[in-house]
Amino acid sequence: MMKIKRGDTVEIITGDERGERGTVRNVLRAWKVDRKRRRIGRDLNKDRVIVGGRNIIKKHQRPISQTRTQTGIIELEASMHISNVALVCPHCDDWTRVGFTFAEDGRKVRFCKRCGEIID
């Protein structure tokens, strides 16, 4: 189960944008692969996230076909390592470490390690 999911509000906790918040647009999952590139399991330490409006890079995009409409210097949201962001708890409005527990109906849910409230 993922500590951070698409749509979560996260805070960047390292680097130039420390303290900035954004919404997770995508989680890029890393897979462990064997020598024949077959997926043999998840590699949780290599997951990356794309956060809306954060970690903007400028990319020099050359026109390669008629269908590529954005060319020249374009701005893109680059992925960052998942450990550079932390989930913002909606209850205490602060970034937090995430734990897992089971709700009353048996679902596995995330909870905030600061205030103990269930997040999902």
Closest C-alpha among 100, 20, 86, 30 to residue 53: 20
In terms of Cβ atoms closer than 10 Å to its own Cβ (0-12, 13-18, 19+), residue 12 is buried
Closer of 49 and 89 to Zn ion (Cβ): 89
Residues 6+ apart with CB under 8 A from 34: 40
Task: Give the whole-angstrom CA distance, residue 53 versus residue 55.
Answer: 7
Which of 30, 92, 103, 107: binder of Zn ion (CB under 5 A)? 92
Is there binding between residue 112 and Zn ion (CB under 5 A)?
Answer: yes
Q: Closer to Zn ion by CB, 85 or 89: give it.
A: 89
Should residue 115 be labelled a site residue for Zn ion when binding is judged by CB under 5 A? yes
Among the candidate windows 43-51, 53-61, 70-78, 104-112, which touches Zn ion by CB under 5 A? 104-112
Point out which residues bind Zn ion (CB under 5 A).
Answer: 89, 91-92, 112, 114-115
